[in-house]
Amino acid sequence: LGIKLQKYTGFYMVNGFYAEKYSQDILKKKIGIGVDFITSSLGSAISGNAIPFWQSSVSVIKPFLQNKKIQPLVKFNLGFAMANYGSDTFKDLPNKSLIAALEVGLYCSLIPKVKVLASGGYNLITGSGSSGLGVIYPVYGQITFAYEIKLKEK
């Protein structure tokens, strides 16, 4: 369970929440499933005139070197994004989009139960505003701070 800070290249800072699960039932803990929710309302739009933007996605995560303190990983994210342009002037612009992104990064676990994920991604679906949601830029970087909570498995 964690806090996610994301920055689109040339766009806003968006922040939110993140959770992931590894289970013996999911390929013996070799693949993880993640979910996140990020918004500009917790980032650039918190005190400015940035466009309110919300995004939620589900991830499939493949870490490598799982027993090491630093673990490379790849992720595939699939989700949905929405923006509120705030004026009828922009009512003809697309304000919703699917999200599909590839991501690579590193998990760092130097403190027990605390993970830091630094990664970069590429959105496969982007928009210019006139075709597609104009707040989804192709390249992004992010950092996620997570605290490990172990749930009992059956």
Q: pLDDT, tens digit, for every residue of 3-27?
A: 787 777 776 777 888 888 876 666 6
The arithmetic mean of pLDDT across residues 59-87, rounded, is: 89
Surface-to-core class of residue 128, CB atoms within 10 Å of its CB (0-12 exposed, 13-18 middle, 19+ buried)? exposed
Indicate the pTM of the whole model. Answer: 0.81
Q: pLDDT, tens digit, for every residue of 106-144?
A: 999 888 888 898 999 998 987 755 667 767 778 888 888
Contact 136, 126 (CB under 8 A): yes
**Distance, first Cα to last Cα, the chain:** 20
